[in-house]
């Protein structure tokens, strides 16, 4: 029994002797941690480089190259840009030997989200403007690669002039189809719809084959301009261009133009052709 009591006392003394060591070790570690924390922040070394030593006294607001005004940085979508694309400027020759000139262009000025757009398309033959469509539009980006357009359209050429309100959409469809769709509302209850699409097929990096389609529909007959209601006319074309540079490219091609429905009947009554095949040669350029 005495031996057991002696062993218990020895164990208690040993434990009591080790406790200060543990406490001392913990205090040293705590002191070390606090010491490390106190080193963070502080002041720079005496040999550190002066951050303003190479500025020659210039700051963000002053100096030889500082710009005046409250703000110098302008992001890309805050700048105004402009472009002119003459998609078709071509000489046309039909199978019966008739000659004419056609143009199709688009210009815009503005920013990524809002811009002023001008579209013009027409045919010139026999010393006068046969048919022309001119549009002045405000374009607003509504989705990636798509703009909604609102404005006015004016038709001129043979027959009385016509004016329309225009509402449309233009953009890049999946698989790289360029698409235009526009609805028009004119005087005396006239309405119209225009659809157009084209696609660039790259045979090489510079030789490009472009199929193109365009159709026009009208809600009301307009005998003064030889237009019937319903599907009025359409064109299917194929043009092959060679881009000497990305900005300029001559081309050749063929196009089939056809009148449909009541418009075709009006043409037959006037002894005019309902459809014709056109051979074209022209120039496409932009800047």
Task: Tell whether 212 is covered by a domain.
Answer: yes
**pLDDT for 192 beyond 90:** yes
How is residue 1 written in tokens? 């029994």
Tell me the pLDDT band of 41, cut-offs 50, 70 and 90: low
Beta strands in 33-174 (DSSP E): 81-94, 99-110, 114-125, 128-143, 146-157, 162-173
Task: Tell whether 210 is covered by a domain.
Answer: yes
Contact, 135 vs 151, CB < 8 A? Answer: yes
Give the tens place of pLDDT for each residue, 230-278: 999 999 999 999 999 999 999 999 999 999 999 999 999 999 999 999 9
Mean pLDDT of the chain: 87
pLDDT of the residue at 12: 54
Tell me the pLDDT band of 204, cut-offs 50, 70 and 90: very high
Tell me the pLDDT band of 146, cut-offs 50, 70 and 90: very high
**pLDDT for 37 beyond 60:** no
Q: Which residue has better confidence, 278 or 5? A: 278
Number of domains the chain is built from: 1
Least confident of 21-30, 36-45, 71-80: 21-30
Q: Which residue has better confidence, 223 or 29? A: 223
Task: Tell whether 40 is covered by a domain.
Answer: no
pLDDT of the residue at 104: 98
pLDDT of the residue at 58: 75
Give the tens place of pLDDT for each residue, 91-137: 999 988 899 999 999 999 999 999 999 999 999 998 899 999 999 99
Instruction: Find the CATH number of the domain harbouring 133.
Output: 2.40.160.40
Residue 114 CA neighbour count, 13 Å, CB half: 1
Q: What would the mean pLDDT of 181-197 be, rounded to a whole number?
A: 98
**pLDDT for 215 beyond 80:** yes
Residues 6+ apart with CB under 8 A from 204: none
pLDDT of the residue at 271: 93
Task: Tell whether 187 is covered by a domain.
Answer: yes
Q: How far apart are CA 54 and CA 50, in angstroms?
A: 8
Least confident of 27-31, 67-71, 208-212, 258-262: 27-31
Task: Tell whether 25 is covered by a domain.
Answer: no
Task: Tell whether 71 is covered by a domain.
Answer: no
Task: Tell whether 37 is covered by a domain.
Answer: no
Give the range of the structural domain holding residue 255, as residue numbers without chain letter. Answer: 79-286
Q: How far apart are CA 92 and CA 125, in angstroms?
A: 10
**pLDDT for 40 beyond 70:** no
What 3-state DSSP class applies to 78? helix
pLDDT of the residue at 137: 99
Give the tens place of pLDDT for each residue, 44-71: 788 887 777 777 777 766 777 676 666 6
**pLDDT for 32 beyond 80:** no
Task: Tell whether 16 is covered by a domain.
Answer: no
Buried-state track 147-174, b at ≥16 Cβ within 10 A, e below 16 = bbbebebebebeeeebebebebbbbeee
**pLDDT for 171 beyond 80:** yes
CA 272 to chain centre: 41
């Amino acid at each position: 029994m005495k031996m057991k009591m002696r062993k218990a006392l020895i164990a208690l003394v040993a434990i009591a002797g080790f406790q200060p060591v543990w406490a001392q070790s913990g205090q040293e570690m705590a002191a070390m941690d606090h010491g490390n924390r106190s080193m963070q922040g502080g002041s720079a070394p005496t040999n550190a480089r002066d951050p303003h030593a190479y500025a020659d006294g210039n700051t963000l607001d002053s100096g030889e190259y500082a710009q005046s005004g409250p703000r110098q940085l302008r992001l890309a979508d805050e700048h105004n840009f402009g472009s002119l694309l003459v998609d078709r400027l071509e000489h046309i020759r039909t199978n019966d030997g008739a000659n004419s000139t056609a143009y199709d262009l688009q210009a815009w000025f503005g920013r990524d989200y809002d811009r002023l757009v001008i579209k013009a398309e027409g045919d010139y033959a026999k010393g006068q403007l046969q048919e022309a469509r001119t549009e002045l539009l405000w374009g607003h980006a509504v989705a990636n690669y798509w703009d909604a357009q609102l404005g006015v359209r004016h038709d001129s050429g043979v027959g009385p002039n016509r004016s329309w309100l225009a509402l449309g959409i233009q953009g890049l469809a999946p698989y790289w189809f360029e698409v235009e769709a526009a609805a028009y509302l004119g005087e005396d209850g006239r309405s119209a719809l225009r659809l157009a699409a084209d696609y660039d097929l790259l045979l090489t990096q510079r030789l490009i084959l472009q199929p193109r389609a365009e159709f026009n529909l009208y809600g009301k007959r307009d005998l003064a301009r030889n237009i019937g209601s319903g599907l009025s006319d359409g064109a299917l074309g194929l043009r092959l261009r060679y881009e000497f540079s990305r900005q300029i490219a001559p081309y050749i091609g063929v196009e089939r133009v056809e009148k449909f429905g009541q418009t075709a009947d009006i043409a037959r009554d006037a002894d005019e052709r309902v459809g014709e095949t056109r051979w074209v040669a022209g120039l496409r350029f932009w800047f």
